């Protein structure tokens, strides 16, 4: 007898919940906001939108299906099943935060605030959840039901020489935790190597090419063709490389495909690698340690 599908609903605390938790009462939170020219009523309206979206999504899950619920902060301690259908309710960043914890599970992104969110990764209104879950039900061979359009979003991975691994949906950053000058040697797939002093290195997917990566690309007016979200290609940029007698600026951008890798060897006391802007979830790189950055072996499956 096969088990009923399981839907895992992922959300995060609203700004209102975080403020009340920090200040103790609604009144204290309202006073704090007033001193900064803001109104707690605005946060309450956004909180209500999030709560309504959560109710709509929860109600759309068939009664005989299994279900789970997890807050974003608890993701490192949650074990996803291989056949879970993951529903993310929140901003686009929620999907990016989820990506590193998944391995082939299907994600449905629900946007509770379409007037505020770009909707790049959370593309669907709460009211569409029932139809989306029906499409996501897996048939034989582990594929979604007929009519489902599933994007395979490319991911980037970094692996250090002591076996630590980090994966990102948008990009991975390598540099100083303070974003000051990072010193390292960069080795390219074609064998070239250059000692550099810079504000760090960004290795981006096509999904990330609309964000931080695009900012670097626009700033330097690069002729490089940025990858698409489902393209098996990465773009990389060195930020603000500094020329000196000991450091160069000739290897500051490029692309990676197939089995190609970038290798970074730290020449500072401590560098860090982190993905998708989450610096708290970082991998350290100490003097002489190396990290290799390349296409990840798996992609994010987004409905």
Q: What is the CATH number of the domain that holds 22?
A: 3.40.50
Residue 170 lies in a domain: yes
Give the per-residue pLDDT at 147. Answer: 56
Examine the fold and report which residue of 149, 166, 190 is the final residue of a domain before the chain moves on: 149
For residue 181, give the nearest of 244, 236, 235 by alpha carbon.
244
∠ CA 106-107-113, rounded to 5°:
165
Same domain flag for 125 and 164: no
Give the pLDDT confidence score for residue 228 in this predicted structure.
92
Ramachandran bin of 221, using left for φ above 0, alpha for ψ from -120 to 50, beta for the remaining angles: left
3-state secondary structure of 115: coil
pTM of the model: 0.84
Classify residue 292: in a domain, yes or no. yes
| Domain that includes residue 280, residue range | 156-297
d(CA 40, CA 75): 28
Domain count, the chain: 2
Task: Evaluate whether residue 302 is within a structural domain.
Answer: no
Largest CA distance in the chain: 70
Do 186 and 108 belong to one domain? no
Instruction: Please report, in tens digits, the pLDDT of each residue of the chain (303 residues total).
Output: 578 889 999 999 999 999 999 999 999 999 999 999 999 999 999 999 999 999 999 999 999 999 999 998 888 889 999 889 999 999 888 888 888 889 889 999 999 988 888 888 898 999 999 989 988 885 433 454 445 688 999 999 999 999 999 999 999 999 998 878 999 999 999 999 999 999 999 999 999 888 888 888 998 898 999 999 999 999 999 999 999 999 999 999 999 998 899 999 999 889 999 988 888 788 999 999 999 999 998 899 999
Note whether 254 and 127 are within 8 A (CB). no
Distance, in Å, from the CA atom of 83 to the CA atom of 89, rounded to the nearest integer, reads 19
Strand partners of residue 203: 172, 236
């Amino acid at each position: 007898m096969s088990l009923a599908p399981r839907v895992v609903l992922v959300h995060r605390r609203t700004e209102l919940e975080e403020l009340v938790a920090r200040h103790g009462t609604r009144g204290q939170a309202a006073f704090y906001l007033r001193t900064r020219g803001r109104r707690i009523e605005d946060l309450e309206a956004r909180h209500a939108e999030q709560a309504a979206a959560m109710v709509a999504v929860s109600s759309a899950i068939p009664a005989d299906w299994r279900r789970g619920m997890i807050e974003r902060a608890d993701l490192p301690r949650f074990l996803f099943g291989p056949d879970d259908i993951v529903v993310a309710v929140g901003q686009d960043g929620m999907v990016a935060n989820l990506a590193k914890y998944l391995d082939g599970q299907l994600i449905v992104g629900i946007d509770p605030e379409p007037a505020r969110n770009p909707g790049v990764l959370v593309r669907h209104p709460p009211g569409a959840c029932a139809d989306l879950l029906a499409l996501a039900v897996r048939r034989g061979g582990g594929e979604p039901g007929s009519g489902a359009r599933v994007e395979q979003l490319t991911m980037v991975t970094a692996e250090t020489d002591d076996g630590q691994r980090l994966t990102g949906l948008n990009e991975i950053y390598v540099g100083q935790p303070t974003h000051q000058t990072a010193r390292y040697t960069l080795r390219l797939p074609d064998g070239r190597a250059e000692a550099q002093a810079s504000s760090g290195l960004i290795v981006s997917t096509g999904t990330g090419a609309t964000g931080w990566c695009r900012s670097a690309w626009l700033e330097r007016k690069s002729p490089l063709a940025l990858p698409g979200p489902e393209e098996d290609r990465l773009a990389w940029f060195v930020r603000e490389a500094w020329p000196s007698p000991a450091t160069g600026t000739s290897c500051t951008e490029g692309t990676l495909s197939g089995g190609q890798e970038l290798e970074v060897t730290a020449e500072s006391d401590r560098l860090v690698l982190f993905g998708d802007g989450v610096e708290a979830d970082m991998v350290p790189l100490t003097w002489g340690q190396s990290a290799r950055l390349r296409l990840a072996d798996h992609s994010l499956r987004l409905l």
